[in-house]
Each structure stands twice: as structure tokens, then as C-alpha cells.
Amino acid sequence: MSAPRERITLEPAYVLHSREYRDTSRILDVFSVAHGRITLFARGARGPKSKLAPLLMPFRPLLVSWTGRGDAAQLTGAEPNGELSALPSRQVMSGFYLNELIINLTTRHDPQPQLFDDYAAALRSLAGDVGAEPTLRVFEKRLLASLGYGLEFDVEAGTYYRFHVGEGLAEVREDSPGAYSGRCLLALQQEQLADGESLDVARRVLRQALDHCLEGRELRTRTVARSMARRGSP
């Protein structure tokens, strides 16, 4: 006898990505609070007459309902979960970067309620149109911790360190290639990235750790950002 179909009602969630399916439907990558990252089929979710089409967009807090198990579950409903505030245009690429990290680095059907809250907090920060970089660095740090690759910050402010993936931070001379200031590493630990040097150190050390987790996979948002920078786009 087959297992009964699972029915989930009004689960807090975000759409990370969607793609067209047949004539009027979509396949959704969804990040939910209690079920982690899942795939849902949204039938009739395209077209001018679809009531779901305006809702099933990235960065919007939703309450979603579905039925089924595994990767063949069917979306049965969606409604706003609070205010559906859009990201400012200058923050949209940062939002897609967050989504791409979650898609590439989390496991399907693995609940990550703390990461869900961290993601929601990052979106609220971006929606407030504050500087994107501190928000992204803090989320990267928290994401690595959720994956079991959190950084160990046993450092002193007046000392310099190098970061070796898999080994952690090792004390070095100030003029050593790739040396990171202990002061800046402590700023990352405390999530107080208030100056350019601290942001630069956070970006470089977190990039090392994330690249290790990505195992050579290139993020599309990074490629697009580099292309925009070459063209001198804002």
C-alpha cells in the first residue's frame, strides 16, 4: 500500500526560483520554515487570469499549502504572510544571490528554521535599502554555520591570521600574503562590519569558505555582477 499523501497547510515560505512548466503551470523551488527547500508544481500559475501568478514571486513572504510527498508535491494555495514589500531595484541582484546560495548549498527536505529566519531578516534589511554588503556578509557567515562550516574566531585584535579551509585561522606576520587583521575578524564574529577594511576581510575570508562548499560550481549572480562591473553599471 502506498504512503498517504501529505497535506501541508499555510506553511511560511519563500519562492526562490521558478520555471515554466507546460502551457500554464510553473515548477517552484520553495524555501519553507519546517520542511526546508522543496519543489512544488503550481498548476495554472501563469497567465493574466491566474490569481497565484502575482504572489509566486521571489522575496515575498508567503503562506503556502501543498499536497503530496517528495519532489512531486502539488501547490494547493498561497497567500501573503504579512506585507509584500518589493526589494528596491538596486537590491534585487543581492536578493537573487541569497536565493542562489540556498539553492546550491542546502539539501532538499532538510528543515533549517534558523536559516529561514536569517534569510527573512536579510530580505528585510535589503528591503530597507541599507547597504547590501554588510547584510550579505552576515548571511554568508550564518549560512556557513548552518552547514557545519562555521568559522572559529579564536583571535586577538592586534594579531594577523591566514585562513586555510579545513584547518581554520593560523597566526602569521602582518606582512604575510593574504593576512587578515584580527580586529576585522572579530568585527565579523560580532557582525559589526562598519568600515571598509572589515568588509573587505569579511568578503575575502567568507568567499574562501563558500568556494570550498560550492566545490567549483559558479554562481550565476556572481557572473552577472562581474559583467555589470565591467560595463560600469551601478
- The residue ranges of DSSP E strands in the chain, in sequence order, are 7-21, 25-32, 36-42, 62-67, 73-80, 160-164, 168-172, 180-181
Query: For the segment 9-34, what is each residue's pLDDT rounded down to a tens digit?
Result: 999 999 999 999 988 899 999 999 99
The residue count of the chain comes to 234
Asked if 24 and 43 count as a contact pair (C-beta separation under 8 A), the reply is: yes
Q: Is the dihedral of CA 190, 192, 195, 201 positive or negative?
A: positive
Average pLDDT over residues 36-40: 96
Average pLDDT over residues 195-212: 96
Asked if 114 and 148 count as a contact pair (C-beta separation under 8 A), the reply is: no
DSSP code of 4? P
Asked if 174 and 160 count as a contact pair (C-beta separation under 8 A), the reply is: yes
Is the pTM value of this prediction over 0.85?
A: yes
Q: What pLDDT is recorded for position 66?
A: 97
Distances in Å between the alpha carbon of 43 and those of 62, 64, 66, 74, 75? Answer: 17, 14, 11, 8, 7
Q: What structural domains and CATH numbers belong to the chain?
A: 7-80 (2.40.50.140), 89-230 (1.20.1440.120)
